[in-house]
Each structure stands twice: as C-alpha cells, then as structure tokens.
C-alpha cells in the first residue's frame, strides 16, 4: 500500500509490462489522468474517485496537486523494478 502526495506535472511516461497484480488507485484530492495500454483513459478528479485494474500497462500524469492511495495485490511479485 502506498499513500503519497502527487504534484502537478508528475508523470510516468513509460508503461510497466508483465505486471499481473491487481491495482486500486484511490484519489483523496487533486486530479490525475491514467492512460491504459488498451486505449482507455481514466480521469480521477473528485474525492473518492478510483480506478481498479489487473495486468494492464499504464502511464499517468498529475494535473493538480493532491493525495492518493495505491494498493496492489498480491503485494510481492518478481518484476523489473527498473521499469517502476
């Protein structure tokens, strides 16, 4: 589980591939855009907005400062951490 501050302009420009964990991203405040490798785009902009996915590569960008909680399970998995 990760509780973190997100800052406008933060982003992950490359996607992690081969991660089959389930991920829940819960927005506490701010605004974040998540782009999935299947072409879907999710915008989290209201308190309590969330995205839930499994095994999809994604990138993200923060559009407004805020806070988020990210939970992944199972909590351990052998992946290339240089990509995360």
Find the CATH number of the domain harbouring 58. Answer: 2.60.120.10
Of 41, 7, 48, the C-alpha closest to 25 is 48
Is 83 a domain residue? no
- Which pTM was predicted? 0.84
Q: Tens of pLDDT along 9-66?
A: 999 888 877 778 999 999 999 999 999 999 999 999 999 999 999 989 999 999 999 9
Task: Map residue 81 onto helix, strand or coil.
Answer: helix
Q: How far apart are CA 40 and CA 74, in angstroms?
A: 24
Q: The tokens of 1 are what? A: 């589980």
Is 18 a domain residue? yes
Q: The tokens of 20 are what? A: 């089959």
Q: How far apart are CA 30 and CA 8, in angstroms?
A: 9
In this predicted structure, what is the pLDDT of residue 18? 74
Number of domains in the chain: 1
Residue 67 domain boundaries: 2-77
């Amino acid at each position: 589980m990760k509780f973190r501050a997100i800052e406008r302009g933060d982003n992950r420009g490359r996607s992690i591939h081969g991660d089959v964990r389930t991920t829940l991203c819960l927005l506490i405040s701010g605004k974040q855009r998540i782009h999935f490798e299947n072409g879907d785009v999710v915008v989290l902009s209201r308190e309590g907005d969330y995205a839930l996915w499994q095994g999809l590569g994604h990138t993200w960008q923060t559009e407004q400062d805020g806070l988020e909680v990210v939970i992944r399970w199972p909590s351990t998995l052998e992946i290339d951490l240089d990509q995360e």
